[in-house]
């Protein structure tokens, strides 16, 4: 059985793991267009959440299994086509995540100083594609739109002092810019109320530990109770979020130099400014049956930078059936076509934490096993033999697992303690560190 997994983030590697348990002799090629594996573990999880990144050790074991290969720096759609993958492998699983920022869809969103969270997070995490984002952090006020964990990450990273970031793996270029910024007011803005916010309590509570930052919450805005419309399994989390927000609202003490203002019931309707953002226009909302209903009341918030953390979309790949409306691969519970599946965020959109992918991978692999039992593949596919020939013919510089380990070691070696690593952030640097 020859398997190709496209994307070496959590969904791809948990799928590889589950497949190797199902079929101990399976040969798995894991492709990634970056020379580095682990997807969002490297490029998405906040740099100050090192304990969450420790999952990379388990993924390292997955990629070290005999019969599994990592083929970094190989892009499907550029170096190999979808048709070539299908011709070479019995099973193809796409696990490319969702790396495109969902657009705000409001006037002015293309002004200078407005960024999507995928780009902004990619910038401070050293994703080669976003390394040159060069965000404007020269003003005093910055707004983050969205009430999810990504919005919390962005606000927290911007609010931390360099000392608080010292044991993170934030890239040097980003630490320098954040350290030199003179931001005073950060706004975290949700279009619905505090009950509907999709924060998780641990991440929300972390805001309260920031050294140089007050958390400003209007007590009246967080007086709501969790209603019967909230699904039973989410009640505790929502109640805990409310408790934390109320504890922020009740805080007293000497003012700190920076403030995070948490605002609710404000839907963005326009980005203001001529060439660069100067403010945001919001419409106040009330939540009716879980939905944000506009009230007709509008207000302006002057800001120098705006970051939209409102969700991600998957980008299409040439030839792979795509659901334009949902921004993900067209699939039926993971099945795209016979022998082709989707896993993780490119299957069901951006939701869940790293561990969610483990459960999802188990479900998907069970489905694959059932499909293959009902319709056994014809067999006779050449697998990596054919693919290696094509890659060699096209002069693709494949970064295998041993080469990634050289990058890994070089990044760790050049970091100044207590920093765990200093990432290489361009393709050239990464390939140089990969060696021959």
Binding site for ligand NAP (CB under 6 A): 104, 145-151, 153, 190-192, 196, 198, 200, 203, 267-268, 292, 309-311, 350-353
**Alpha-helix runs per DSSP H in 133-231:** 149-159, 172-180, 201-207
Based on CB atoms, which residue is closest to ligand NAP, 153 or 169? 153
Q: At what angle do helices 172-180 and 117-124 cross, to 10 degrees?
A: 110
Tell the smallest beta-carbon distance from residue 287 to ligand NAP (Å). Answer: 9
Nearer to ligand NAP, 184 or 351 (CB): 351
In terms of Cβ atoms closer than 10 Å to its own Cβ (0-12, 13-18, 19+), residue 25 is exposed
Closest alpha carbon to 195 in 133, 154, 159, 237 = 237
Closer of 358 and 381 to ligand NAP (Cβ): 358
Nearest distance, CB of residue 138 and ligand NAP, angstroms: 25
CB of 180 to ligand NAP, least distance (A): 26
Closest approach of Cβ 288 to ligand NAP, in Å? 13
The H or E element containing residue 13 is helix 10-22
CB of 117 closer than 8 Å to CB of 151: yes
Cβ atoms of 304 and 182 within 8 Å: the answer is no
Which CB sits closer to ligand NAP, 73 or 198? Answer: 198
CA distance 407 to 70: 14
Q: Which CB sits closer to ligand NAP, 8 or 149?
A: 149
Report the C-alpha gap between 291 and 417 in whole angstroms: 47
Nearest distance from residue 352's CB to ligand NAP, in Å? 5
SS3 46: coil
Sign of CA dihedral 137, 142, 144, 149: positive
CA dihedral sign, ordered 273, 277, 278, 279 = positive
Smallest distance, Å, CB 142 to ligand NAP? Answer: 16
Outline where DSSP puts E strands in 80-130. Answer: 91-94, 100-101, 114-116
Residues 6+ apart with CB under 8 A from 260: 155, 159, 186, 187, 188, 207, 210, 213, 214, 215, 216
Smallest separation (angstroms) from ligand NAP to the CB of 150: 3
Complex with ligand NAP: residue 262 or 309, whichever CB lies closer: 309
Q: What is the spatial distance between Cα 374 and Cα 397, in angstroms, rounded to a whole number?
A: 39
In the complex with ligand NAP, which residue's Cβ is closer, 351 or 366?
351
Minimum distance from CB of 350 to ligand NAP (Å)? Answer: 4
Q: DSSP character for 112?
A: B
Q: Nearest distance from residue 196's CB to ligand NAP, in Å? A: 6
CA 18 centroid distance within chain: 22
* Apex 206 CA angle, 170 and 149, nearest 5: 70
What CA–CA distance (Å, rounded) separates 105 from 431?
38
Q: Quick one: 201 or 420, whose CB is closer to ligand NAP?
A: 201
Give me the least distance between CB of 388 and ligand NAP, in Å please. 35
Residue with smaller CB distance to ligand NAP, 62 or 285? 285
Q: How many CA atoms lie within 13 A of 244 on its CB side?
A: 22
Between 19 and 197, CB nearer to ligand NAP: 197
> What residue is closest to ligand NAP based on CB?
148
Rounded least distance, CB 117 to ligand NAP, Å: 7
| Residue 225: other Cβ atoms inside 10 A | 9
153 or 304, CB closer to ligand NAP? 153
Spell out the long-range contacts of 387-395 with Cβ–Cβ below 8 A and sequence spacing 24 or more: 387/4, 387/29, 387/71, 387/80, 387/84, 387/85, 387/88, 390/80, 390/84, 391/71, 391/74, 391/79, 391/80, 394/79
């Amino acid at each position: 059985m020859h398997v190709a997994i496209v994307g070496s983030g959590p969904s791809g590697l948990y799928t590889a793991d589950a497949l190797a348990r199902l079929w101990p002799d399976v040969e798995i090629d894991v492709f990634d267009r970056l020379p580095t594996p682990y997807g969002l573990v490297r490029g998405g999880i906040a740099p100050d959440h090192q304990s969450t990144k420790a999952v990379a050790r388990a993924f390292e074991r997955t990629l070290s299994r005999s019969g599994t290969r990592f083929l970094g720096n190989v892009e499907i759609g550029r170096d190999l086509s979808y048709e070539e993958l299908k011709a070479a492998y019995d099973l193809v699983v796409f696990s490319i995540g969702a790396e495109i920022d969902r657009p705000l869809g409001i006037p002015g969103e293309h002004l200078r100083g407005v960024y999507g969270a995928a780009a902004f997070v990619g910038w401070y995490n050293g994703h080669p594609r976003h390394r040159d984002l060069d965000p404007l952090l020269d003003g005093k006020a910055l707004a983050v739109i969205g009430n999810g964990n990504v919005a919390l990450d962005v606000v927290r990273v911007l609010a931390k002092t360099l000392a608080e970031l010292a044991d993170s793996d934030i890239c040097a270029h980003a630490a320098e810019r954040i350290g030199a910024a003179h931001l005073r007011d950060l706004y975290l803005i949700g279009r619905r109320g505090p009950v509907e916010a999709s924060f998780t309590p641990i991440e929300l509570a972390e805001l309260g530990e920031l050294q140089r930052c007050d958390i400003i919450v209007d007590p009246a805005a967080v007086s709501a109770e969790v209603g019967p419309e909230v699904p039973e399994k989410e009640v505790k989390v929502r109640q805990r979020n409310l408790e934390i927000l109320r504890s922020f609202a009740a805080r007293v003490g000497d003012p700190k130099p920076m403030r995070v203002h948490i605002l609710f019931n404000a839907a963005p309707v326009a980005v203001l400014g001529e060439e660069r953002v100067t403010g945001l226009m919001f419409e106040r909302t009330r939540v009716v049956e879980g939905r944000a209903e506009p009230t007709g009341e509008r207000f302006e918030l002057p800001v120098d930078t705006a970051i939209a953390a409102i969700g991600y979309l998957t980008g299409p790949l040439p030839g792979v059936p795509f659901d334009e409306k949902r921004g993900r691969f067209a699939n039926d519970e993971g099945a795209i076509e016979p022998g082709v599946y989707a896993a993780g965020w490119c299957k069901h959109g951006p939701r869940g934490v790293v561990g969610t992918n483990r459960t999802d991978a188990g479900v998907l692999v069970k489905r694959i096993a059932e499909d293959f039992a009902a319709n056994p593949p014809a067999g006779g596919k050449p697998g990596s033999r054919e693919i290696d020939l094509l890659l060699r013919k096209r002069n693709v510089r494949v970064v295998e697992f041993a080469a990634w380990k050289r990058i890994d070691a070089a990044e760790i070696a050049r970091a100044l303690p207590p920093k765990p690593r200093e990432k290489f952030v361009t393709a050239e640097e990464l390939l140089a560190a990969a060696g021959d």
